[in-house]
Homo-oligomer: A and B are copies of this chain.
Amino acid sequence: MASSAPIGVFDSGIGGLTVAREIMRQIPGETIIYFGDTARVPYGSKSKKTIITYSRQIVRFLQTKNVKAIVIACNTASAFALETVASEVSIPVIGVVKPGARIAAKATRNGNIGIIGTEGTISSGIYNTYLSETNPTVNVYGKACPLFVPLVEEGWLTDPVTVEVAKRYIKELLSYDIDTLVLGCTHYPLIRHTIGDIVGNNVTLVNPAYETARELKKVLEKEGIESTATAGEHKFYVSDGAEKFQKFANTILPCEVVETKDINIESFADSLI
């Protein structure tokens, strides 16, 4: 695979842009092909079987763009589909959960770690698995926060309603004396200030995006496929609402998004599955 090939990054919608942003910052020579599954967002309440089907379609689409590596920039899809899709392709596939768990295990001082995420991510117990592997002595407390994604999508990032909902969700975790809280959904960094105000200065917020970009860099170097040139034009694809997506992307990315294309992601279905 040529080192000049792009990196595929995908998410259920806009959340994964927080990961794309981190990749652009840390390895600015890489070109990104981003896919947001805006027609079928949210992923957080869907079953493992459905998330695997959707992820396979997206991986097939990204492969038509000749990507050299894929980043699953969605916790739910990382939890449910990473293992399956990674075993089906010959390029590296990286999720956000393992890097997030690794950094949380390093960050905690008292061994009590909270995880907030979608219903799917929390019920999968995947953070617990990775955290236990890294450090068997930590205590992990998970809490599903299903209203955070719609509140972010509504743009109520610091609204009193969002503050009230966040207090409600996080209260229970604080009762366990956590000193570290993983933002286990790529939408959540967009409300990190609201969450930070509630948990206070003694709790470290962990954003897996940073560590994911670091891991990607290491993998590219290990495989000898890191870009040696300047990045080309990042390209953005969605399954619905290209205009709305592009407007949002331009508010959070360091580059200008000049074009976003709508594609029919269902047409990448494999009839054998």
Q: Is A164 an interface residue (CB 8 A)?
A: yes
Known: A147-B154, A150-B147, A168-B161. A46 touches B240 (CB 8 A): yes
Complexed CA–CA distance, A36 and B184 (Å): 28
Complexed CA–CA distance, A181 and B53 (Å): 41
Question: Please, what's the 1-or-0 string for A22-55, where 1 marks a CB less than 8 Å from any CB in chain B?
Answer: 0000000000000000111000011101100100
B241 and A47 form a contact (CB under 8 A): yes
Complexed CA–CA distance, A40 and B240 (Å): 12
Question: Please, what's the 1-or-0 string for A129-158, where 1 marks a CB less than 8 Å from any CB in chain B?
Answer: 000000000000000001101110110000
Q: Is A266 an interface residue (CB 8 A)?
A: yes
B46 and A50 form a contact (CB under 8 A): no
Contact for A164 among B53, B154, B161, B239, CB less than 8 A: B161
Q: Is A89 an interface residue (CB 8 A)?
A: no
A150 and B161 form a contact (CB under 8 A): no
Known: A147-B150, A161-B168. A241 touches B39 (CB 8 A): no
State the copy count for this chain: 2
Within the complex, the shortest CB–CB distance from A270 to chain B, in Å, comes to: 11
B146 and A45 form a contact (CB under 8 A): no
A162-184 CB contacts (< 8 Å) to partner B: 164-165, 168
Contact for A45 among B50, B147, B164, B241, CB less than 8 A: B241
Within the complex, the shortest CB–CB distance from A61 to chain B, in Å, comes to: 14
Known: A147-B151, A153-B146, A266-B266. A47 touches B240 (CB 8 A): yes
Complexed CA–CA distance, A239 and B46 (Å): 10
Q: Is A269 an interface residue (CB 8 A)?
A: yes
Complexed CA–CA distance, A50 and B41 (Å): 13
Contact for A50 among B39, B49, B50, B147, CB less than 8 A: B39
Complexed CA–CA distance, A153 and B159 (Å): 21
Q: Which residues of B contact A38 (CB under 8 A)?
A: 46
Q: Which residues of B contact A47 (CB under 8 A)?
A: 240-241
4 closest A-B pairs (Cβ-Cβ)? A150-B150, A50-B240, A39-B50, A266-B266
Beyond A50-B239, A146-B150, A266-B269, 6 extra complex contacts between A and B, CB < 8 Å: A38-B46, A47-B241, A53-B264, A149-B150, A150-B150, A160-B164
Listed by A's residue number, 13 A-B pairs whose Cβ atoms lie within 8 Å are A39-B40, A40-B40, A46-B240, A46-B241, A53-B266, A146-B150, A146-B153, A147-B150, A147-B151, A160-B164, A161-B164, A266-B266, A266-B269
